[in-house]
């Protein structure tokens, strides 16, 4: 079909384990190496072993797919699944060991912080450098320049060498360059997670605009809600292989099901505690409305948390508390028996206490759960990161809209009414 802009056929990439990084090369060394590689491609077949050995690893293996013009393709998978390797092949940064890829159109990519930038050059000079690499004329770049700088929000530092930029400034300028220099195919890796929440939303809006203009976007992210919101189709990679190629809802469902199968409930009794604490909390179990153990749930769904405890004696006037926080340590909310239930009677040395949250108010993202127990206000046990929970965007209010996380972290039930004169 003429509207297919990317066609990957049996892509595989093999790496040697323990290979030493190359040292500094002069320009002469680089040119000589490039000539030798070109010569070998013409006259020799690469002596790569087709067989798996202890010295090699397949980062991706036999991956095939097509992408049509104007579509947004999401790529998800656990760390080490091969997502970044695939994007590097598509961006022509590395060559596949086997297979081939055909790309029709100019590619703009943002794969890692500062990719395509030269540290000694200023932000202004790097914009023109990247534009020249993409094949743009100077006049075209000048026309886009003010728009790029305004989007990046780093006007004050545009004439500063980028080696002095923070990671956030790098990402701002790099995304602005990649998205505004008229690429026909835009490839974005997880690097956007470095930016602040407000800028992330701005980037996602820009990606939607790029797709609406008939351009193609490939997007790798662990932010499942954004994948659902942005993408027309999603690939799921597992251990280098393509295991799912489907519409977003089905792909995300299968990815999370696989994730659930590997996220076992931890035995907390072996966790190290300070000498002043006791190993009272043994296990945390998270359950959905069907009493199934889960580690992922949709915004607005009920969640039940079962706390298994064991102590050497009766716990007098106990108080249990669970605190939900983001991956970077921001506390979102807590639930506590004394606040929601009042004073508890003395509990036997061993048992289970459960907490049910009728509607989980968390917006999409990854969260950690801290657990603690007190006896007559004396802290018996406290376990940071006792469990973790992935929250997925859902049409919670049947409005056809998915909630997304911008500056907020929780979704509050609200009754909206329209009053007219």
Task: Could you list the beta-strand ranges (E) of 299-416.
Answer: 303-310, 318-326, 331-336, 350-357, 365-375, 378-392
Beta bridge partners of 333: 324
How do residues 124-149 score in pLDDT, each as one tens digit? 998 888 788 767 788 888 888 998 89
Confidence of residue 191 (pLDDT cuts 50, 70, 90): low
- Predicted TM-score (pTM) of the model is 0.64
411, 361 contact by CB (below 8 A): yes
Q: What is the pLDDT of residue 194?
A: 56
243, 236 contact by CB (below 8 A): yes
Q: What is the pLDDT of residue 44?
A: 44
Q: What is the pLDDT of residue 406?
A: 56
Looking at mean pLDDT, say which of 66-75, 204-213, 259-268 comes out highest. 66-75
What's the mean per-residue pLDDT of the chain?
Answer: 83
Distance separating alpha carbons of residues 340 and 163, to the nearest angstrom: 52
Superfamily for the 266-392 domain: abc- transporter (atp binding component) like domain (2.70.50.60)
The pLDDT of residue 21 is above 60: no
Mean pLDDT over 183-187 rounds to 85
Q: Which residues contact 46 (CB under 8 A, 6 or more apart)?
A: 40, 97
Q: Which residues contact 47 (CB under 8 A, 6 or more apart)?
A: none
- Our CA angle for 17, 19, 20, nearest 5°, is 150
Mean pLDDT over 321-350 rounds to 91
- Our CA angle for 372, 375, 359, nearest 5°, is 40
Mean pLDDT over 345-360 rounds to 94
Distance separating alpha carbons of residues 288 and 294, to the nearest angstrom: 6
Q: What is the pLDDT of residue 161?
A: 92
Superfamily for the 4-17+41-261 domain: P-loop containing nucleotide triphosphate hydrolases (3.40.50.300)
Sign of CA dihedral 160, 186, 247, 57: negative
Mean pLDDT over 335-356 rounds to 93
- Classified as helix, coil or strand, 75 is strand
Q: Which two tokens stand for residue 167?
A: 């990671």
Q: How many CA atoms lie within 13 A of 59 on its CB side?
A: 20
Q: Which residues contact 407 (CB under 8 A, 6 or more apart)?
A: 197, 198
Mean pLDDT over 303-318 rounds to 94
| Of residues 37 and 16, more confidently modeled | 16
219, 207 contact by CB (below 8 A): yes
What's 157-219 look like in SS3? HCCCEHHHCCHHHHHHHHHHHHHHCCCCEEEECHHHHHCCHHHHHHHHHHHHHHHHCCCEEEE
- Our CA angle for 228, 76, 212, nearest 5°, is 45
All CATH 2.70.50.60 domain ranges of the chain, comma separated, are: 266-392
- Our CA angle for 361, 365, 370, nearest 5°, is 70
Confidence of residue 289 (pLDDT cuts 50, 70, 90): very high
| Of residues 194 and 385, more confidently modeled | 385
Q: Which two tokens stand for residue 222?
A: 């662990």
Confidence of residue 415 (pLDDT cuts 50, 70, 90): confident
All CATH 3.40.50.300 domain ranges of the chain, comma separated, are: 4-17+41-261
């Amino acid at each position: 079909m003429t509207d297919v802009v990317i066609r990957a056929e049996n892509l595989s990439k093999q790496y040697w384990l323990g290979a030493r990084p190359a040292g500094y090369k002069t320009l002469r060394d680089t040119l000589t190496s490039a000539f030798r590689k070109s010569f070998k491609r013409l006259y020799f077949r690469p002596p790569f072993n087709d067989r798996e050995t202890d010295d090699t690893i397949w980062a991706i293996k036999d991956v095939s797919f097509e992408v049509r013009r104007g579509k947004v393709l999401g790529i998800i998978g656990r760390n080490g699944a091969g997502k970044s390797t695939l994007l590097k092949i598509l961006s022509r940064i590395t060559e596949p060991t086997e297979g081939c890829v055909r790309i029709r159109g100019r590619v703009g990519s943002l794969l890692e912080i500062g990719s395509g930038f030269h540290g000694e050059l200023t932000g202004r000079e790097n914009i023109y450098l990247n534009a020249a690499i993409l094949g743009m004329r100077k006049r075209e770049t000048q026309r886009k320049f003010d728009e790029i700088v305004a989007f990046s929000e780093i006007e004050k530092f545009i004439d500063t060498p980028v080696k002095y930029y923070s990671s956030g400034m790098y990402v701002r300028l790099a995304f602005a360059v990649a998205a505004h220099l008229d690429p026909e195919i835009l490839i974005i890796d997880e690097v956007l997670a470095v930016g602040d929440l407000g800028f992330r939303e701005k980037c996602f809006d820009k990606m939607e605009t790029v797709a609406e203009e008939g351009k193609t976007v490939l997007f790798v992210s662990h932010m499942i809600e954004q994948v659902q919101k942005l993408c027309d189709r999603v690939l799921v990679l597992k251990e280098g292989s393509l295991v799912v190629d489907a519409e977003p809802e089905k792909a995300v469902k299968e990815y999370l099901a696989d994730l659930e199968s590997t996220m076992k409930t931890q035995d907390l009794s072996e966790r190290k505690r300070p000498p002043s604490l006791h190993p009272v909390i043994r296990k945390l179990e998270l359950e959905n409305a069907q009493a199934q153990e889960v580690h992922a749930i949709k915004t607005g769904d009920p969640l039940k948390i079962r706390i298994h405890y064991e102590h050497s004696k009766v716990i007098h006037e106990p108080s249990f508390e669970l605190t939900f926080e983001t991956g970077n340590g921001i506390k979102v909310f807590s639930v506590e028996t004394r606040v929601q239930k009042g004073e508890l009677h003395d509990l036997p040395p061993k048992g289970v206490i459960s907490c049910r949250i009728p509607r989980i108010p968390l917006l999409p993202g990854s969260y950690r759960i801290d657990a603690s127990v007190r006896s007559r206000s004396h802290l018996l046990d406290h376990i940071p990161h006792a469990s973790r929970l992935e929250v997925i965007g859902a049409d919670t209010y049947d409005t056809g809209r998915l909630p997304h996380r911008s500056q907020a972290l929780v979704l509050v039930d609200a009754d909206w009414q329209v009053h007219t004169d």
